[in-house]
Chains A and B, each alone.
Chain A
Amino acid sequence: MFIYIKHMVSLRCKMVVEQELRKLGLRYVNVDLGSIEILGNITDFQRDQLRKNLKACGLELLEDKRRIMVEKIKALIIEMVHYSDELPKVNNSDYISEKLGYDYTYLANTFSEVKGITIQQYIILNKIERVKQLLLYDELNLTEISYKLSYSSVSHLSNQFKNVTGFAPSYYKKRKKKRIKYLENL
């Protein structure tokens, strides 16, 4: 993969960068001014370390624009699903592209390429997590939950739930209750 570094201008910059890469045990194919090709992937830990070390030399590791974008999308979805009382009235795609100010096709393509799943799938995963949580709270029944998370019907919700988790919502609830009861009896 490629990583980009700011402020590289000379042979010495190249030498310093090569040194830092070797220190972290990263194998590189090619170190050019500004762009570096390394073998395999870089872990988040290595990336942080590399950023710190390069900073000490006056160089700057460039955050990939696409990664930043994906983080923003994720934060927006989590906020939307978990921390707001009701889901937006408009389409998810319209909501996201309006909030971030980019065309939805661009956002969706970026997200899928970086994360390996689509935005829709990511939203579904989050919604199911939210459903699980609401089931445990036991304040709302499944119909109310499906309404709250703007499913068209209960059966749509329970189908989706079963698809993702492998259980029907009622079974999930029962199992958790049993587990809680069991824990109480200990």
Chain B
Amino acid sequence: MDSQREYWIKNMVCSRCLKVIKQDLEEIGVEVLSLELGKLSVRITTEIDKKIDLKIAEVLHSNGFEIAKNEEEMIVENIKITLIELVTDLPLHIKEKTSEHLAAELHRDYKMLSKVFSKKENVTIEKYFIKLKVERVKELIQLQQHAFSDIAYLLDYSSVNHLSSQFKNVTGVSMTDYKNSQIWKRSFLDEII
């Protein structure tokens, strides 16, 4: 009997992640039914049932992913993906607060979300989001297509001052120094904590 199995995957951040997973799974003969950020479902036939978990885990590990083992990890992953999607599409202008946006997207109470997130990652959602935005700012500075004031606008900062002080707080260097040094120490989005 054919059936399908779902996996929750940690550390997925962009469409290249989807591509790589799909490619590698098809190479070892696993049929992918659906794949989106954080969520994979594959077709299972009974005889390979036992081995497939291992095989898939191996593929995922070799690409730097992990399988989420419990519900809390799933929630954390969902929060991250929601926030990453927010900063991917610029300009970033959400009408409600980040907390309300998360609660609405995940259909959970924000208190519970924030508690789980802090417990698992040892950093608050707020702080994570700031790091995420700063990482995005780093990319925009590197590409040199926008002025700092444009970048502040794109990421919904109230002013350039706010952005630059936050940038300096997180990275330790000012935006100008970062730009002039030409040393782009960017981190992978899934490794910023």
Contact = CB atoms under 8 A, between A and B. Distances in A.
13 contacts: A4-B143, A9-B139, A9-B189, A10-B189, A11-B63, A12-B14, A12-B16, A33-B188, A34-B139, A34-B186, A35-B142, A35-B184, A57-B16
Q: Which of A6, A11, A58 counts the most B-chain CB atoms under 10 A from its CB?
A: A11
Interface string A4-18: 101111111101100
A137 to B, nearest CB: 45
Interface of B: 11, 13-17, 19-20, 63-64, 135, 139, 142-145, 184, 186-190
B144 A33 contact: no
Closest 7 CB pairs of A and B: A33-B186, A9-B189, A58-B15, A12-B16, A12-B17, A13-B16, A12-B20
B16 A16 contact: yes
Contacts of B14: 7, 9-10, 12-13, 58
A35 to B, nearest CB: 6
A13 B186 CA distance: 13
A65 interface: yes
B147 to A, nearest CB: 13
Interface of A: 4, 6-13, 15-16, 32-35, 57-59, 62, 65
A33 B11 CA distance: 16
Contacts of A9: 13-14, 135, 139, 188-189
Given A10-B188, A11-B188, A12-B63, A34 B17 contact: no
Contact of A32 (B17, B135, B143, B184): B184
- Of A7, A9, A57, A65, the most chain B CB neighbours within 10 A belong to A9
B186 A32 contact: yes
Contacts of B139: 6, 8-9, 33-34
Contacts of B186: 32-34
B19 A34 contact: no
Given A9-B14, A11-B63, A57 B188 contact: no
Given A4-B143, A15-B20, A34-B139, 14 more contacts: A6-B139, A8-B139, A10-B16, A11-B64, A11-B188, A11-B190, A13-B16, A15-B16, A15-B63, A33-B187, A57-B19, A58-B16, A62-B145, A65-B144
A6 B190 CA distance: 17
B64 A34 contact: no
A31 B102 CA distance: 34
Contacts of B187: 33
Given A34-B139, A34-B186, A16 B13 contact: no
A2 B190 CA distance: 25
